[in-house]
């Protein structure tokens, strides 16, 4: 894309453009919605090093290394990724900045694709970082550039706090020229960068001083703007997308729009509070700004009018302003149109499906994890009793087993984990399984190895090189598991349904710890397409065994000359995995000669 032009970009694409124009050189991420497209987009720019790292902690460390060398660097992750990255982050923020450092957190109000709704503005304050909150694509680009400048000018890491709606929506963006910022080299002063007790006491004062200086800058910071309305007695403070949603309503209030959302200029807001009868804070998720004002004795309200959870669109904001007495009548809400319910499904040919069909029939208790296979927690499989966080299934399963043993209830338990999650944070859990292991333990851990990070679009992981020479990592999970010390490790091909079922059921019955590695490539990533299957209605007995595998191409339908519903297969969707044919008790499902 040429400079000095305009384009329609998503928020993710726009912040990448900002990274490029700011002279960004090093970027690292772990894929997760809503920011998964950021690294994919950065790779399209030349002269930039970008990688999907093993997890968010490693991604942060790679970006820290770039910054230490004077390169403007960026780490990108979804909001829960900051939990993984927090260990190095909380110490890195004690050090001065050489190359500007930006941490992008993709927050997810409403939890469209996340297990929780944590508000990382709180995390950034906890870590002594500045926070910038863009509300559209142009701001995503501009604020990214500003974030690098603030990082270097005030010597602190800056959080770009972007939400899922801004990440994925599109708006016009004006491009600019790239500023080159060459790395300065690696010659760090240990007193400032070696965070041992001897040096960290002074670092506490350093963090305090730089935030106070930034707070002074916030007083007339160009991205904090007051929009006065004639006769208004109420001031609404808003940031990010909330500002634009508020503008759609055009209420009779003045607006203080915050681009720099931490630290706040308390001096400026106190001055404004003397000019208005009331201050209302409009923000999604936690009452972060509202609490900051109250801590400093500035009377205000906010969450008493607006939901504490989920997204706030213009209609919900209008309803809150009506409750607050700002609007004198309710705004009619658009009637919701009924839509056909479409529960999430495994993809056609997904190798995870037969495993959960086998486990469902075994009636064993299963601990799930984060990945495509979290879909198995829903009907018809109902196949996961718990899903907490990346890699947590292994440790939780051990804890459940140990607690059950104390009440002499040695039921077998199964945990599932994908290969991407295994490399992300699962390995320490596996190592811990061998700590104080008991012969009476009965744990079966199934590693679902499809050689990609499938849920976020098929990014490479540490075992992807097995199927794709373009991927430069090909770690063999079986060898690694055996090196850790596990003796009972078996491999299964989940598309050989009967063999896989026999192996898994045997391992569930076997006392001790068993590791089952189920290996087949992701059908979507590796474009699996074999000759399709079809149903012979003259043989089909309508038992629904194939339908119960939850494969998208299979459904029941009426056939001419048959009274009973029979199953059918959409040839265009079928990738030929054969699981339906293997579970059919009467051999009514057959493979076509060719597609």
Binding-site sequence positions for [4Fe-4S] cluster: 540, 543, 546, 551, 574, 577, 580, 584
Instruction: For residue 547, give the nearest of 340, 341, 353 by alpha carbon.
Output: 353
**Rounded to whole angstroms, how far apart are CA atoms 503 and 499?**
6
Residue 242 has, within 13 A of its CA and on its CB side, a CA count of 29
**Rounded to whole angstroms, how far apart are CA atoms 97 and 70?**
8
Instruction: For residue 33, give the nearest of 82, 79, 89 by alpha carbon.
Output: 79
Looking up tokens 């009018």, which residue turns up?
305
Report DSSP state, residue 337.
P
Task: Give the end-to-end CA distance of the chain in Å, rounded to a whole number.
Answer: 40
- Please confirm whether the linkage preceding 34 is cis (ω < 30° from 0): yes
Is 244 within 8 Å of 137 (Cβ atoms)?
A: no
Instruction: For residue 315, give the nearest of 291, 336, 332 by alpha carbon.
Output: 332
Structure-derived torsion over alpha carbons of residues 54, 57, 62, 65, reported in degrees to the nearest 10:
-160
Beta strands in 122-180 (DSSP E): 130-132, 158-163, 170-174
**Rounded to whole angstroms, how far apart are CA atoms 15 and 173?**
10
Is 283 within 8 Å of 307 (Cβ atoms)?
A: no
Count of all residues that appear for the chain in the document:
595
Binding-site annotation: residue ranges: 540, 543, 546, 551, 574, 577, 580, 584
Specify burial of residue 151 (Cβ count, 10 A radius: 0-12, 13-18, 19+): buried
Our measurement of the distance from residue 307's CA atom to the centroid of its chain's CA atoms, rounded to an integer in Å, reads 23
**Rounded to whole angstroms, how far apart are CA atoms 72 and 26?**
7
CA angle at 234 for the pair 231 and 238, rounded to the nearest 5°: 125
List the structure tokens of 91: 């110490």
Instruction: For residue 551, give the nearest of 573, 519, 518, 523 by alpha carbon.
Output: 573
Contacts of 74 (CB under 8 A, 6+ apart): 19, 24, 26, 27, 28, 63, 101, 102, 103, 104
Q: With b meaning 16 or more CB within 10 Å and e meaning fewer, what string describes 488-506?
A: ebeebebbbbeebbebbbe
**Rounded to whole angstroms, how far apart are CA atoms 350 and 348?**
6
**Rounded to whole angstroms, how far apart are CA atoms 516 and 490?**
5
């Amino acid at each position: 894309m040429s400079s000095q032009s305009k384009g329609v970009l998503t928020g993710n694409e726009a912040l990448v453009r900002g990274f490029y124009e700011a002279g960004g050189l090093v970027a690292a991420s772990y894929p997760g919605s809503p920011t998964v497209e950021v690294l994919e987009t950065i790779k399209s720019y030349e002269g930039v090093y970008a990688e999907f790292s093993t997890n968010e902690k490693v991604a942060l460390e790679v970006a820290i290394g770039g910054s230490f060398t004077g390169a403007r660097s960026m780490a990108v992750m979804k909001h829960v990724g900051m939990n993984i990255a927090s260990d190095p982050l909380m110490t890195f923020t004690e050090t001065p900045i050489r190359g500007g450092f930006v941490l992008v957190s993709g927050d997810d109000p409403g939890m469209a694709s996340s297990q929780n709704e944590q508000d990382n503005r709180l995390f950034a304050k906890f870590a002594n970082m500045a926070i910038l909150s863009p509300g559209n694509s142009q701001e995503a680009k501009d604020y990214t550039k500003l974030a690098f400048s603030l990082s270097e000018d005030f010597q602190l890491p800056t959080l770009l706090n972007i939400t899922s709606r801004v990440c994925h929506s599109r708006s016009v963006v004006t491009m600019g020229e790239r500023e080159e910022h060459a790395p300065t080299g690696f010659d760090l002063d240990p007193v400032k960068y070696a965070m041992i007790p001897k040096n960290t006491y002074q670092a506490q004062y350093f963090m305090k001083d730089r935030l106070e200086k930034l707070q002074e800058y916030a007083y007339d910071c160009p991205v904090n703007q007051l929009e006065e309305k004639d006769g208004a007695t109420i001031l609404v403070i808003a940031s990010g997308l909330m500002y634009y949603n508020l503008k759609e309503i055009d209420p009779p209030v003045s607006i203080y729009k915050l681009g720099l959302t931490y630290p706040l200029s308390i001096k400026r807001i106190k001055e404004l509070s003397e000019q208005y009868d009331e201050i209302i804070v409009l923000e999604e998720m936690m009452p972060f700004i509202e609490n900051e004002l109250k801590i400093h004795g500035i009377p205000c309200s906010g969450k008493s009018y607006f939901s504490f959870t989920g997204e706030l669109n213009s209609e919900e904001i209008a309803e809150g302003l009506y409750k607050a007495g700002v609007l004198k009548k309710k705004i009619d809400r658009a009637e919701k149109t009924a839509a056909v319910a479409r529960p999430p499904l495994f993809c056609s040919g997904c190798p995870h499906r037969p495993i959960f069909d086998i486990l469902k029939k075994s009636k064993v208790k299963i601990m799930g994890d984060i990945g495509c296979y979290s879909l198995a927690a829903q009907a018809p499989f109902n196949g996961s009793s718990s899903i907490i966080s990346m890699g947590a299934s292994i440790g939780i399963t051990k804890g459940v087993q140990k607690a059950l043993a104390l009440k002499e209830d040695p039921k077998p338990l199964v945990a599932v984990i994908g290969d991407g999650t295994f490399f992300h944070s699962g390995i320490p859990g596996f190592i811990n399984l061998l700590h104080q292991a008991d012969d009476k333990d009965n744990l079966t851990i199934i590693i679902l190895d499809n050689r990609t990070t499938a849920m976020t679009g098929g990014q490479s992981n540490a075992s992807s090189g097995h199927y794709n020479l373009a991927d430069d990592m090909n770690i063999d999970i079986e060898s690694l598991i055996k090196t850790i010390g596990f003796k009972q490790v078996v491999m299964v091909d989940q598309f050989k349904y009967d063999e896989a079922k026999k192996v898994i059921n045997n391992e569930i019955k076997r006392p001790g710890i068993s590791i089952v590695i189920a290996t087949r490539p992701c059908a979507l990533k590796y474009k699996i397409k074999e000759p399709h299957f079809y149903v012979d209605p003259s043989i089909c007995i309508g038992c629904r065994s194939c339908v119960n595998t939850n494969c998208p191409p299979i459904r029941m339908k009426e056939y001419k000359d048959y009274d009973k519903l029979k199953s059918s297969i959409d040839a265009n969707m079928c990738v030929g995995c054969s699981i339906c044919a293997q579970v059919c008790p009467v051999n009514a499902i057959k493979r076509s000669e060719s597609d």
